[in-house]
Amino acid sequence: MSNQVRRRGRIIFLNGTSSSGKSSIAEALLTALDQPWFHMSVDAINSMRSKNRTLELEPAELDAVLARTRAGFHRAVAGMAEAGNDIVVDHVLSEQWRLIDCLRVLEGYEVVFVAVRCSPDVLARRERARGDREPGHAAGQQEQVHAHGIYDLECDTAIANPEENAQLIKEFIAGPHRPTAFDQLRAALLDIT
């Protein structure tokens, strides 16, 4: 790379349960936004893991692999943004440590934190249609995924389609608002001394 001064990339962080519509909004954002953005999904990172059936893991081993996968994903997002790329993140913060890790790893980055929600009946219908999720999985995640309660913006995918939600987010990042949710959460959840 040249010696020119590089800006850090911006991050639109979509958080919601499985089947809430995050990936659809992310794809709509890639079309709606005026500059090049990258969609980085936790599902895409998970799909990179080996599928070798001989690697049967005990539950504790699997939990460790999944934790390393999530932690690596957070650092991959930071790395892409550090190189000056704008990123749309699609994640499920279903364990508090994931949010805490993101708050630490993404400190100093401009992060627009977006809640992606929809009603339990819509989640159930989407799970049935997908066929690759255990029924009730998404509804079971809902309380923990949004437990922290602070966002810069909220989208309801039962009310608005992906393009409408993408437009809402595009208007937010183009407007005078400064994203503050990650700063507020960092102050509330991290031991700052």
The per-residue pLDDT for range 32-48, each reduced to its tens digit, is 999 999 999 998 888 88
For 193, residues 6+ apart whose C-beta sits below 8 A from its C-beta are none
Residue-wise pLDDT for 106-119, tens only, equals 999 999 999 999 98
Say what the pLDDT of residue 72 is: 96
CA proximity to 40, closest of 65, 72, 76, 6: 76
Residue-range domain boundaries for the chain: 11-189
pLDDT of residue 123: 81
DSSP 93: -
Return the half-sphere exposure (C-beta side, CA atoms, 13 A cut-off) of residue 53.
0
More confident residue, 92 or 62: 92
pTM for this predicted structure: 0.89
CATH number of 11-189: 3.40.50.300
List Cβ neighbours of 104 (8 Å cut-off, separation of 6 or more). Answer: 190
